[in-house]
């Protein structure tokens, strides 16, 4: 069972590598994201196929034994087990669980009244997870800024910080928890996600991979 799970997770990480270039090369009116699901994943309350096109405003829900990867021009979002979020184009809004984001397009995350944004214009990787009354932000590559609408702080690369959820923000579903085992699996998978985006970035002149899709193929 462990081997099967690892193969599924490897597949969900590697498949998006071949779709990033295609997404960026499409017209501006085309859908901007694709979801790759492993296990039982729901999109807008309905069971998702293994590969599903996403539109801004779509909601994604994973279960304890499932994960999902969202690819959108220059960004990849790994949705951890037992998580729910809303895809908002160049941002995701987390309402339960955690996500790992790798981006060269400045994708941001919102969670319980907080907004987490890459501090620089270069490639960034960060993770966001909620637990009870707090939100943990970890900067894996590059710094990230965290704002609650009144104050802004910076999480330095290689560091993590805990922030209290703002009052009035949506409460998580009961039993939301990310185990150490899950974090270890996701951490290893995230490396593959990063490698994929870096490959796409280094080859963007050939394939016209651009977060904005503004470059023309030669």
Phi, psi (rounded to 5 degrees) for 112 = 55, 50
Q: Residue 16 has what pLDDT?
A: 43
> Nearest-CA neighbor of 123 among 139, 138, 110, 146?
139
Q: Residue 216 has what pLDDT?
A: 42
Q: Residue 202 has what pLDDT?
A: 37
pTM of the predicted model as reported, rounded to 2 decimal places:
0.68
% of the chain residues with pLDDT over 70: 62
pLDDT 10s digits, 168-195: 554 443 333 334 444 444 444 444 444 4
Phi, psi (rounded to 5 degrees) for 76 = -140, 130
Q: Residue 91 has what pLDDT?
A: 96
Pair of tokens at residue 44: 């807008």
In a 10 Å sphere around its CB, with 0-12 CB exposed, 13-18 middle and 19+ buried, how is residue 182 labelled? Answer: middle
Domain boundaries, the chain: 2-207
Q: Residue 28 has what pLDDT?
A: 45
Q: Residue 166 has what pLDDT?
A: 77
Q: Residue 169 has what pLDDT?
A: 52
> Nearest-CA neighbor of 130 among 84, 75, 77, 185?
84
- Which CA distances in Å does 5 have to 87, 128, 176? 25, 23, 21
CA 134 to chain centre: 19
Contacts of 217 (CB under 8 A, 6+ apart): 25, 207, 208
2-14 and 180-202 helices, crossing angle to 10° = 30
> Nearest-CA neighbor of 146 among 120, 116, 126, 118?
116
- Which CA distances in Å does 35 have to 4, 21, 204? 20, 15, 21
pLDDT 10s digits, 127-166: 999 988 899 999 999 999 999 988 999 999 999 999 998 7
Q: Residue 125 has what pLDDT?
A: 97
User: Is 2-207 in CATH node 3.40.50.300?
Assistant: no
Average pLDDT, the chain: 75
**In degrees to the nearest 10, what's the CA dihedral of 60, 63, 34, 200?**
120
């Amino acid at each position: 069972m462990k081997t099967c799970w690892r193969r599924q997770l490897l597949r969900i990480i590697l498949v998006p590598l071949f779709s990033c270039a295609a997404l960026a090369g499409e017209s501006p009116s085309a859908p901007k994201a694709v979801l790759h699901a492993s296990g039982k994943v729901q999109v807008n309350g309905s069971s998702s196929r293994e590969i599903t096109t996403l539109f801004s405003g779509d909601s994604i829900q994973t279960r304890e034994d499932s994960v999902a990867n969202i690819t959108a021009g220059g960004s990849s979002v790994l949705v951890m087990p037992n998580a729910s979020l809303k895809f908002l184009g160049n941002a995701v809004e987390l309402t339960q669980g955690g996500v790992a984001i790798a981006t060269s397009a400045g994708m941001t995350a919102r969670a319980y009244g907080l907004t987490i944004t890459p501090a620089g214009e270069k490639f960034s990787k960060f993770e966001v997870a909620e637990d009870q009354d707090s939100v943990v932000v970890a900067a894996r590559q590059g710094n990230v800024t965290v704002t609650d609408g009144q104050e802004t702080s910076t999480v330095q690369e290689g560091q993590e910080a805990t922030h209290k959820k703002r009052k009035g923000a949506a409460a998580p579903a009961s039993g939301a928890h990310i185990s150490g085992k899950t974090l270890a699996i996701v951490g290893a998978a995230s490396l593959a996600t990063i490698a994929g985006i870096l490959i796409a970035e280094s080859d963007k002149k050939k394939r016209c991979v651009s977060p904005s899709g503004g470059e023309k193929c030669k």
